[in-house]
Structure 1
Amino acid sequence: MSLAYVVTGASRGLGLEFANQLAAKGHTVLACARNPANAAGLQKLLEHKHCHAITMDTTDLDSIKAAVEQMSEYAPQGIDVLINNAGIGGEKSTRPENLLDTDLTTLFQTNVVGVSNVTKELLPLLRLRGKDHVKKILNMSSIIGSIELINQVAPKNGQPACSISKAALNMYTKMLANNLAKENFIVYASYPGWCATDLGGKNAPVKVKDSILGQLAKLDSATAKDNGGFFDFKGKSLPW
């Protein structure tokens, strides 16, 4: 069955691989990026008949609204799945007691506010599918956003601003899942693993292709019991 997917942050890395694998399965893919024309991998993906590049800056509400308007032309019957993949790290702070306000505001704008705005603006297109149809929202999170696991994965230093932003995203995900459950939505957070991307570094142990294969397997099989959950790329449940 062909479905309509929206993937944010699709110019490279995880987002591009999501789009690649979904397009290969014959789904309609609305692949969002700030500058699609400059994304070589995304341009190649447009060879697939049902794949479309959408200009979207997730930190700019006007850009999001314009992108959603364009999406409604490609998917007039509505959207089945939203993959909120766009996110950033790269903070300069390494200790929580030395946090820079610019790190917090920059990461929150993309990792939390951006996800919230994209979801809010896309909900009408998701709801077009009707209450009898299952709609899914995957929010890309991280294990460093787990309060329970933080002492294991980053006991002292690490990426405090990113950890805080992902913990906030996790709370948003849980609350959104609770509110949308009655409309037949399945909303959950996903941890892709430490992947060999520009952000994760070339020595990371998880291949991007394998991460996305696992995450799509979970996405395909997700049911109402998974609503409000937090899972790694192998489908294992993670603590908040």
Structure 2
Amino acid sequence: MSILPHSTPAAVPEGARPLGEGPFLAPGDQIDWHYRAPGWQPGDPSTISPMRVVRDDERGLVAWLAPGTLQEAQGSATGDRVRSIPLERRWLDHRTRIVEEWWGGGSLRIAPVGAAWSVCLFWKPADDGDWRFDGWYVNLENAHLRTDRDTYSSDHILDVWIAADRTVHLKDEDEVVAAISQGRLTREQAAQIERHAGAAIESFRSGEWPFDAEWIDWRPDPSWTIPALRGLDELRGA
């Protein structure tokens, strides 16, 4: 399990286990994908995305985030999306719990066992109804811990975008600089995150499982409904 030095892992329920250890969920089952900040406490804001399981086994977790899914998200003090907080105060200002709809098309997420990152595949909508593969978004994060119906991680801010033409770009480097200046990360932690980015890029260039071509051609089961966010009524009334 990859935990940044000098950090506290995202709080998880007692008995949580690493990905790759059963019991496993079946395709179509709901799993809730959580991102919690280090030091998270009950009632603190987090990101929770209800998803459909595509594959859950010894390799890791693959899940589908459908368009139109309502998810819990982290918001500003005024209830806007967290990115509305100016960068110079992004990790200083108070955050709130909000509900937001997943924007755009759906996303296929793959969390390999033991990796300090997950992979999100995106497709561009097309007028003819076909799927146009857009690229891989590598989200740097703690290796997941999970219970039977939930999986938990903590976001590492820096990300990698790999376009369909296989060009590679780092994303949100300015946010990492801001996170260091605001005490969210140390320079040592930021350096380790960069090493994780390098490992993910090497996994891509080596053609490892998360980047296998089979996922580009994958399509969700048309019978799947959009899973419901647990506790939605309570969250809306907060």
Q: Same fold (TM over 0.5)?
A: no
The two structures have a TM-score, normalised by structure 2, of: 0.26
The structure where helix makes up a greater share of residues is: 1
The structure where strand makes up a greater share of residues is: 2
